[in-house]
Chains A and B, each alone.
Chain A
Amino acid sequence: MMVKELTIISGKGGCGKTTIASSFAALAKDHVIADADVDAADMHILLQPEIRKSEVFHGLNIAQKNDDLCINCGKCYENCRYGAFDPDNTLHPEKCEGCAVCELVCPVDAIKMVERQAGEAFISDTRFGPLVHAKLHAGEEASGKLVALVRQRAREVAEKEGKELILIDGPPGTGCTVIAAMTGVNLVLVVFEPTLSGIHDAKRIIEVAKHFQIPAIALINKYDINTENTRDILDYCKGEGIDVVGKIPYDDTATQAMLSEKTVVEYTDGPLALTIREIWDRVEKAL
Chain B
Amino acid sequence: MKITVASGKGGTGKTTIAVNLALSVKNSMLIDCDVEGPNSHLFFREPMVKIKDVSIPAPKFDLDTCTLCGKCAEFCQYNAISIIGEKLLFFEELCHGCGGCKIICPVDAITEVDHNVGLIEKGGTEDLPVYHGLLNISEPFGVPIINELKQFADASKITIFDSPPGTACPAVETMRDVDFCILVTEPTPFGLHDLTLTVDVIRQIGTPFGVVVNRDGIGDDRVDQYCEKEGIPLLAKIPNDMEVAKLYSRGVPMVTGLPKYRKLFEEMFQKIREMV
B partners with A: yes
Docked-complex contact B77 and A197, CB < 8 angstroms: no
Within 8 Å CB of A99, what residues of B?
A: 77-78, 96, 98, 100
Docked-complex contact B166 and A171, CB < 8 angstroms: yes
| Complex CA–CA separation, A255 to B191 (angstroms) | 11
Docked-complex contact A40 and B99, CB < 8 angstroms: no
CB neighbors of B among A83-123 (8 A): 94, 97-101, 104-105
Q: A140-B168, A175-B139, A196-B251 are in contact. Are A225 and B246 (CB under 8 A)?
A: yes
- Across the interface, name the chain A residue whose C-beta is closest to B56: A81
Give the shortest distance, in Å, between B143 (CB) and chain A (any CB): 8
Docked-complex contact A225 and B168, CB < 8 angstroms: no
| Complex CA–CA separation, A81 to B147 (angstroms) | 12
Q: A105-B103, A255-B218 are in contact. Are A179 and B140 (CB under 8 A)?
A: yes
CB neighbors of A among B96-123 (8 A): 96-100, 103-104
The count of A-to-B residue pairs whose CB atoms sit within 8 angstroms is 176
Within 8 Å CB of A178, what residues of B?
A: 36
Q: Is B239 an interface residue (CB 8 A)?
A: no
Interface-located stretch among B3-11, B84-92, B227-235: B3-11
Give the shortest distance, in Å, between B95 (CB) and chain A (any CB): 10
Docked-complex contact A42 and B77, CB < 8 angstroms: no
Q: Is A211 an interface residue (CB 8 A)?
A: yes
- Across the interface, name the chain A residue whose C-beta is closest to B12: A14
Interface range on chain A (Cβ under 8 Å from partner): 35 or more
Docked-complex contact A104 and B104, CB < 8 angstroms: yes
- Across the interface, name the chain A residue whose C-beta is closest to B38: A200
Docked-complex contact B42 and A81, CB < 8 angstroms: no
Within 8 Å CB of B219, what residues of A?
A: 255, 258-259
Docked-complex contact A15 and B141, CB < 8 angstroms: no
Q: A12-B11, A225-B246, A259-B189 are in contact. Are A39 and B37 (CB under 8 A)?
A: no
Interface of B, helix, strand, loop or mixed by DSSP: loop
Interface of A, helix, strand, loop or mixed by DSSP: loop
| Complex CA–CA separation, A12 to B38 (angstroms) | 9
Q: A13-B165, A42-B194 are in contact. Are A226 and B249 (CB under 8 A)?
A: yes
Within 8 Å CB of B188, what residues of A?
A: 255, 258-259
Interface range on chain B (Cβ under 8 Å from partner): 35 or more
Docked-complex contact A174 and B11, CB < 8 angstroms: no
Within 8 Å CB of B245, what residues of A?
A: 225
Q: Is A159 an interface residue (CB 8 A)?
A: no
Give the shortest distance, in Å, between B173 (CB) and chain A (any CB): 9
Q: Which of A40, A94, A208, A259 sits near B8, CB closer than 8 Å?
A: A40
Q: Which of B34, B104, B137, B190 sits near A18, CB closer than 8 Å?
A: B190
Within 8 Å CB of B141, what residues of A?
A: 175-176
Q: A101-B100, A139-B201 are in contact. Are A195 and B168 (CB under 8 A)?
A: no
Q: A13-B10, A139-B167 are in contact. Are A97 and B96 (CB under 8 A)?
A: yes
Q: Is B164 an interface residue (CB 8 A)?
A: yes
Within 8 Å CB of B10, what residues of A?
A: 12-14, 40, 172
Q: Is A49 an interface residue (CB 8 A)?
A: no
Docked-complex contact A225 and B249, CB < 8 angstroms: yes
| Complex CA–CA separation, A175 to B170 (angstroms) | 10
Docked-complex contact B200 and A138, CB < 8 angstroms: yes
Q: Is A61 an interface residue (CB 8 A)?
A: yes
Q: Is B220 an interface residue (CB 8 A)?
A: yes
| Complex CA–CA separation, A40 to B37 (angstroms) | 17
Q: Is A7 an interface residue (CB 8 A)?
A: no
Q: Is B248 an interface residue (CB 8 A)?
A: yes
| Chain A 235-263 near chain B by CB (<8 Å), digits 1 or 0 | 00000000000000000100100110100
- Across the interface, name the chain A residue whose C-beta is closest to B215: A255
New contact pairs (5) apart from A40-B10, A136-B168, A175-B36, CB-CB < 8 Å: A14-B10, A81-B57, A100-B77, A101-B100, A179-B140
Q: Which 7 pairs from chain A and chain B are nearest by CB?
A: A13-B10, A14-B11, A99-B98, A173-B36, A176-B140, A226-B249, A197-B39
Could you show 27 A-B contacts with beta carbons less than 8 Å apart?
A18-B190, A38-B168, A39-B166, A79-B103, A81-B99, A98-B77, A100-B75, A100-B77, A100-B98, A101-B100, A136-B167, A136-B168, A138-B204, A139-B167, A139-B205, A171-B166, A172-B10, A172-B165, A172-B166, A176-B141, A195-B251, A196-B42, A200-B39, A226-B246, A255-B188, A255-B218, A259-B219
